[in-house]
Copies of this chain bind each other. A is one copy, B any other.
């Protein structure tokens, strides 16, 4: 049997076939066309699912289920996309719409949770029962897998600094405000403006703007201001990850998103920061690993969804 995974994004609809072992066999993508109606978009989702099956020598009889990862708020039980920023869906029953075209079980899940499920089953946390995948991007996304199943929940909007900087969600001091890629860029810019002699400016001028690697590169070149930016950013990632270790006692914390491309230059200081700061109620072991599935995580996780 094979499993169809669909990653519904604001720009593209990506679909893939995943085998019993959790391996991505093939994938394809089409533009979402988010200016269109939900019905039209869902019809395209069904088409790309049928196409990828047929184009790769399978038939619908080989398909066990269709999983869909969506941005925003999902009612998993009913198969409804409640709300998604930048997409024309509002309490849309994607399951029943897809089933108009394909008579198979259809499962929905938030896309960050799909990515976490993929890393848990086929990626950096493969072989574990309990893991948390944190994505450091525009925001901070998180997905929690306990006993092999995805939990509902939102980690980026955990306040880690009461009365701290305002978050887009309306609260103050959310983890996302300090640990996202967006936050790192802001922190880099602020530090550079205070230290006009910092090498941060060289790297900024080379790239045309401050970005998520400016501080890491300037720090590697020995710039003290840049190193302070990195140390401070590591501290904030560490506070949130230590909270996650205390709250969920996962075996592995997987770090993904663009910033995770720093690899060990980021992960090793985060591990160092956390050491001795966790309060485990059970076993005392945890690992921090880089996500390995990249953009395919969404498709793979969607395909792995079960009822």
Contacts and interface: CB of A to CB of B under 8 A. Distances in A.
A285 interface: no
Contacts of A153: 246-249, 281
Contacts of A157: 246, 279
Given A159-B239, A162-B236, A243-B159, A280 B151 contact: no
Interface stretch (A42-50, A164-172, A201-209): A164-172
Contacts of A277: 169-171
Copies of the polypeptide in the assembly: 2
Contact of A162 (B154, B160, B170, B248): B160
Interface string A77-118: 000001000000000000000000000000000100000000
Given A170-B277, A242-B159, A283 B249 contact: no
A242 B277 CA distance: 23
A146 interface: yes
A25 interface: no
B161 A158 contact: no
A74 B161 contact: no
A60 B195 CA distance: 76
A76 interface: yes
Contact of A283 (B75, B151, B173, B281): B75
Nearest to A277: B171
A73 B280 CA distance: 8
Contacts of A164: 162
A155 interface: yes
Nearest to A163: B161
Interface string A104-138: 00000010000000000000000000100000000
A282 interface: yes
Nearest to A146: B151
A152 interface: yes
A222 interface: no
A281 B84 CA distance: 10
